[in-house]
Chains A and B, each alone.
Chain A
Amino acid sequence: GQNIDQPTEMTATEGAIVQINCTYQTSGFNGLFWYQQHAGEAPTFLSYNVLDGLEEKGRFSSFLSRSKGYSYLLLKELQMKDSASYLCAVRDSNYQLIWGAGTKLIIKP
Chain B
Amino acid sequence: GEDVEQSLFLSVREGDSSVINCTYTDSSSTYLYWYKQEPGAGLQLLTYIFSNMDMKQDQRLTVLLNKKDKHLSLRIADTQTGDSAIYFCAEINGGTSYGKLTFGQGTILTVHP
A binds B: no
